[in-house]
Amino acid sequence: MYNMMKKIILLFFVFGITTLQAQNAKGLLDEVSKKVNSYTNIVISFKYTLNNPRENVSQETRGDVTLQGNKYLLNLMGTERMYDGKNLHVIIPEDEEINISSQNEEDDGSITPSKMLTFYEEGYSYKMDIEQDVKGRKIQYVKLTPMDSKSDLQEILLGIDKQTKHIYKMIQKQNNGTNVTFTVNSFKTNQPLSKTLFVFDESKYENYYINRLD
């Protein structure tokens, strides 16, 4: 009887810690979401790293993204992706090629740039993870686990600056052994943007092959 009571107490203790962790994680993520949604736009420069030890793959590059509502302009690995709220334009200067396709952000289950700072709001369970000191900044990690058992993602670690409530790092661990890491180098908000930043101007690409996929 005594051993049984100890097990019951231990289970309640573990359950209580797990519940508290989830509540604390949700509270922190809610603060991040509130902060992100308060900005007119966000301009981020970042480091992108991809590693897969099994396949002996290691890649590192830099990129930048401008976010305004569900619109975005992403520059990464020599390719520009511009989403105007309806169509995605993938511009590849090396091949002088542009692929244009319709895209519904609500139907896309992937983590697109426009959802990069708020993707965690649906489809994940979460709990607090480690805290790190990065050059005097306190970075609190939250571990997110996809609720969909068929997801390609094993888990996501989201590093949040405890003072600014901005996302500092995102680590995606995939089931195939690939780890993708985004580390924010600069995070600017409410910047003066051109009114035509998210408008595709075909006249600028006279020599390009334009492939309309829809």
- Give strand pairing partners of 68: 71
pLDDT tens track for 122-153 = 888 889 999 999 999 999 999 999 988 888 88
Instruction: Label residue 12 by pLDDT band (50, 70, 90).
Output: very low
Across the chain, mean pLDDT equals: 85
Q: 0.85 cut: is pTM over it?
A: no
Has residue 4 got a pLDDT over 50?
A: no
Residue 104 pLDDT:
66
How many other CB atoms sit within 10 Å of the CB of residue 145? 14
**Averaged over 44-49, what is the pLDDT?**
95
CA distance 139 to 137: 6
Distance of CA 154 to the CA centre of its chain: 15
Q: Can you spell out the DSSP letters for 33-101?
A: HHHHHT-S-EEEEEEEEEEEGGGTEEEEEEEEEEEETTEEEEEETTEEEEE-SSEEEEEEGGGTEEEEE
Kind and range of the H or E element at 16?
A: helix 2-37
Angle at 34 between CA 33 and CA 39, to 5 degrees: 100
Residue 204 has pLDDT above 60, yes or no: yes
pLDDT value at residue 122: 81
